Chain A
Amino acid sequence: KELILEYAHVFIEDMFHCDSGPSPQFANQVSLDAFLTNIMARTRITTSTLITAFFYLERLKLFHPKCKGSPGSGHRLFLAAIILAAKYMYDDTFDNTAWATVSSGLFDLEQVNHMEREMLNFLEFKLFIRSFEWIQFNERLNACIRKEQQSIITQTN
């Protein structure tokens, strides 16, 4: 399991303050970590697509600073972002039916279509990433991972 994937749910939870644990409404909901891992394993989407999805989530937060998640919303945020990242990066990629299929049974096609369009609206259709933005984002991401690793080491000691 790649390092970045291991910490993926932490970024989303930190950024949007949404708890990955099962929410009262969805008692049997899969955790964000399991949801992410399942999608990455079944679609074999590359790491750079995953990082692009995180970039879009950070941009969403930048455009709408007050936007805050609640228990369970991390799944939607991630799925909508990874769909847009895959469509922007690949000429030949999964359709939304496929994305609904790999969503651990949480969402149907109509919901997936809707969250995709909603995300596009909130991002104002700005999916372009400048190369300096990409470099800076990767540095921040690496710093985040190092910090997480440090805190785990501190906890275990």
Chain B
Amino acid sequence: MSEKRIAVYSFENPDTPHYLSTTFRGNCTAVDQFKKLNRVGEGTYGIVYRAQKISDKEEPIVALKRIRMDYDNEGFPISALREISLLKNLRHENIVSVYDVVVANGLDNIFMVMEYCEQDMAYLMDNVMAKYPERQYRPAEVKCLLHQLLKGVSYLHDEKNIIHSLARSFGDPIDNMTPRVVTLWYRAPEILFGASDYTQSVDLWYIIVNILLTCKLLGTPTERVWPELVDQPLYGTIKFPSIDYDSIDKTFPDSTDATLDLLRAFLAYRPSRRISAREALRHSYFTEYPRMCNPALLPTYPELRNLKMVDEHGVKKHKVFDPKKDLINIDEPIVKRYDL
């Protein structure tokens, strides 16, 4: 039986395809230098593992994200290609870092070595917040989280010229851009109307719609609030119910004026009127009472994704959150909280 070999057509010597064993890895580190500790999740294009470099020294925990390569026809997936090359170019405390790209089995399996994050928000919301309403984030903590998110977005927009929801960067040489971008639910109105000259303002829409997912809230877009509406390519092809006024204040009756003001600023129909990440960071929402808390004072939760339990049938499953045993710092105020 012949060993699986890879034909390599080197740029340096292209006419003689030579064969390498499956341990070939070009300039990259081999993934077998890492030990996988456990699986933490699965995204649209790959499985994520919690892992550690094998070494005599104490090595940091990292996340290994395996890039799904089952689309042979496509070649290297566009989304992964952009994610790697963009993230390699970014360095910010609120943006996950990519340290390296490692390979296994020739160049067939590719893993990103990334900064390990203890929690993901979706998992936390589904497994803790949804079941234990009393453990939900307090207003000061929500402000802190939103502030960190906006700091990351402001870095992308103002320093790197990147639109997050498109994973695309802007240089000078831009041809017209395709309006067929971003998961439908999150698309900003100018993209829905077929614009090809959209800007970073689409991200601010995306961030908030991601949370709200409703448009009944805003009333129908009109020329009064968005004068360029009639110039959008698909204007007139979409029929909206006629709703005269937004109902933001009725939908969120308990919110303060500053909260509603920031929300309206994020959801401005007219792209040029929508608040930028940089402006949003200075909004009074963050400084009014209760003031946003310090990131170090956010509550911590056990790393449920890493704790495996065996049920009575011997089936492995994720540990279930137990508010009595698993909460460390919510009921015992070791540190003074800003909003107490």
Contact = CB atoms under 8 A, between A and B. Distances in A.
Q: Do A and B bind each other?
A: yes
Interface of A: 16, 23, 25-26, 46, 48, 51-52, 60, 67-73, 76-77, 83-84, 87-93, 95-97, 99, 109-122, 124-131, 134-135
Contacts of A99: 75
Q: Which 8 A-B pairs have the closest CB atoms?
A: A96-B75, A73-B14, A127-B85, A48-B173, A121-B26, A128-B89, A125-B84, A117-B107
A76 B178 contact: no
Contacts of B172: 131, 134-135
B176 to A, nearest CB: 10
B185 to A, nearest CB: 17
Given A91-B180, A135-B172, A120 B76 contact: yes
B231 interface: no
Given A84-B81, A128-B169, A114 B72 contact: no
Contact of B107 (A73, A111, A118): A118
Contacts of B88: 124-126, 128
B7 interface: yes
A73 B11 contact: yes
Give the interface size bracket for B toward A.
35 or more
A114 B74 contact: no
Contacts of B28: 121
A114 B9 CA distance: 8
Contacts of B84: 125
A87 B78 contact: yes
A87 B171 contact: no
B312 interface: no
Nearest to A23: B15
A120 B81 contact: yes
B171 A134 contact: yes
B166 interface: yes
